[in-house]
Amino acid sequence: VAAGFAAGALLGAHLKGASWCPVPGAGRRARGDGASSCASSKEDFISRLGMIPHPEGGFFVETYRSGSEPMTSKGLTDSAGDVMATDRGPTPERNVMTSIYYMLTAESDHQWWANNMSDHVHYHHAGGTFIYNLVLPDGSYVEKRLGTNVAAGDQPQVVVRGGSFKSVRLEEGAEFGIIGEGVAPGFDFRDFKFVTREELEKLSPEAFAKHADLVKPDPEDTFDQYYEGR
């Protein structure tokens, strides 16, 4: 136990003095005290990580799809990859797991209400706090904060159970925020749909009263166009 405390103290001291930049090769700028700070901008993240616009708002890039090359299946199951059986007919096979980087910016600062059948685990990487509006399958409404400011109530990771309605806002004043999302069974657009005003109001009048503005006005049901020109 004593060794663990000592290791923790050493790690804390290291992190306190570290100058970590989450985008490889991004520049640094000098601070007034002579130290350097990470100069990664939202443009750095988008260009260096190869992010594209996301149907729900913001930007994303798929970084992992079990047994498959990310992004090549355009958000659908790659049957040549590692798959698992589900009860989601008529095409029940899904890749075991997928993961993405996802970003909101001051210009694209919200995610529209949507519902996905798979469980998601969201991890905060950099930038501002994401404020989650969640309506669980039983109709209960909860708000969660995904970020690093734990003193303000942030959590470094947020779990979104499959079948929940979800919308997100970037905290006011933030220039951008970037997170990771792990999805299992792996993401497939056939398991995804935008939430309508009628569905939101029926399941949670409270969420509807607070955030009806986050219902997408003209939702799509096909998504290949987001991958064109990559």
Contact 223, 52 (CB under 8 A): no
Along the 230 residues of the chain, how does pLDDT read in single tens digits? 444 433 343 334 333 333 334 444 444 444 444 444 555 899 999 999 999 999 999 999 999 999 999 999 999 999 999 999 999 989 999 999 999 999 999 999 999 999 999 999 999 999 999 999 999 999 999 999 999 999 999 999 999 999 999 999 999 999 999 999 999 999 999 999 999 999 999 999 999 999 999 999 999 999 999 999 77
The DSSP secondary-structure symbol of 172 reads T
The DSSP secondary-structure symbol of 139 reads S
| Straight-line distance from the first to the last Cα atom of the chain, in angstroms, rounded to the nearest whole number | 51
pLDDT tens-place string over residues 3-46 = 443 334 333 433 333 333 444 444 444 444 444 455 589 999 99
Closest Cα partner for 112 from 196, 205, 228, 226? 196
Structure tokens at 84: 């698992």
Render 164-186 in DSSP notation, one character per residue: -EEEEEEPTT-SEEEEEEEEESP
Q: What is the dihedral of CA 153, 195, 199, 76, to 10 degrees?
A: -110
What is the Cα–Cα distance from 17 to 35, expressed in whole angstroms?
A: 10
Instruction: Report the predicted TM-score, pTM, of the whole model to 2 decimal places.
Output: 0.84
What is the Cα–Cα distance from 142 to 225, expressed in whole angstroms?
A: 33
Q: What is the dihedral of CA 15, 8, 124, 212, to 10 degrees?
A: -120
